């Protein structure tokens, strides 16, 4: 079976155990998820759920909104059932669970991809206002969000041992190389035909910016979650996150970042035009 067919099979499996309550809220049950993730016994899966709770708390999310102790019925033979303790998990909670799994196992690796991308997709779908924005306004919104997250990423990288400006430039380059198939910032800059003073992030469309935002947020989380304390390991972590985002884009049949068109106007030009319009009102 090819890797793509395995990925599709696992994605279908994760969807197959998804539940929806009376209020239309989707959720997964820990016992079913443990079985899909190849845990031999449910009790071996419970420590992973506990680590997911801790990660949820550390991310500033209310744990009770994502992880809830419940009771479910299981078959015990001859058509009889009994009530057992279970855990109801939101999509975000499932994402945290698989992040604590062994990525060398195909089902875990595909689970990480599935829940990460679906969580981000759900965030965007939940924002009806964002969906109604023009391409220029989407670029502005994501670019501003990326600027903020790059500050958080820089702080996480500094805690991991990335201290000097040169260190950080090398760290950022590793993230770009993972996402852009080996191309660093200078390569991307040249490919876009930009002047020395122009920033590559200001010359990306909304889809390319979103891919970079996802790279930045996931790299920050991974550095913190794994308590990375070495700048070489931090560089490798950023590269692996970028590579994972790239692999996900490929699996979904998307366009590779380096092949995405460069908009005619930069984000700075869009901002300037908006300010002029507002000044005339």
What does the DSSP 8-state code read for residue 210?
H
CA dist list (Å): 120 to 95, 97, 126, 179? 11, 16, 10, 17
Query: What is the C-alpha to C-alpha distance for residues 87 and 81, in angstroms, rounded to an integer?
Result: 18
What pLDDT does 76 receive? Answer: 74
Domain boundaries, the chain: 3-97, 135-272
Per-residue pLDDT tens listing for the chain (281 residues): 344 443 444 455 777 888 998 888 889 999 999 988 888 899 988 998 998 898 888 777 789 989 999 999 877 777 788 889 999 999 888 888 887 766 666 677 667 666 766 666 666 665 556 667 789 988 998 898 888 889 889 999 999 999 999 999 999 999 999 999 999 999 999 999 999 999 999 999 999 999 999 999 999 989 988 999 999 999 999 999 999 999 999 988 999 999 999 999 999 999 898 888 777 65
Query: Would you say 237 and 169 are in contact if contact means Cβ atoms under 8 Å apart?
Result: no
Which stretches of 146-227 are assigned E, i.e. beta strand? Answer: none
Query: SS3 of 76, please?
Result: strand
């Amino acid at each position: 079976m090819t890797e793509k067919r395995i990925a599709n099979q696992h994605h279908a499996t994760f969807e197959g155990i998804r539940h929806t309550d009376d209020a239309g809220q989707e959720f997964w049950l820990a016992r079913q998820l443990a079985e899909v993730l190849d845990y031999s016994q449910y009790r071996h899966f419970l420590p992973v759920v506990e680590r997911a709770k801790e990660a949820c708390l550390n991310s500033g999310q209310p744990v009770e909104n994502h992880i809830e102790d419940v009771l479910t019925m299981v078959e015990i033979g001859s058509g009889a059932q009994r009530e057992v303790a279970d855990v109801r998990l939101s999509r975000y909670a499932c994402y945290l669970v698989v992040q604590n799994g062994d990525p060398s196992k195909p089902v875990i690796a595909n689970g990480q991809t599935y829940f990460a991308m679906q969580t981000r997709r759900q965030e965007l779908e939940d924002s009806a206002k964002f969906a109604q924005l023009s391409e220029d306004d989407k670029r502005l919104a994501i670019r501003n969000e990326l600027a903020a997250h790059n500050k958080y990423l820089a702080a996480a990288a500094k805690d991991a041992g990335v201290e000097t400006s040169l260190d950080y430039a090398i760290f950022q380059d590793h993230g770009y190389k993972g996402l852009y198939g080996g191309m660093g910032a200078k390569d991307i800059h040249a490919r876009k035909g930009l002047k020395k003073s122009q920033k590559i992030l200001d010359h990306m469309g909304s889809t390319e910016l979103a891919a970079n935002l996802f790279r930045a947020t996931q790299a920050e989380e991974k550095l913190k979650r794994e308590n990375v304390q070495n700048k070489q390991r931090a560089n490798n972590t950023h590269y692996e996150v970028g590579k994972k985002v790239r692999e996900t884009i490929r699996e979904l049949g998307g366009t590779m970042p380096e092949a995405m068109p460069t908009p005619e106007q930069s984000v700075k030009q869009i901002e300037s035009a908006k300010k002029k319009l507002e000044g005339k009102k």
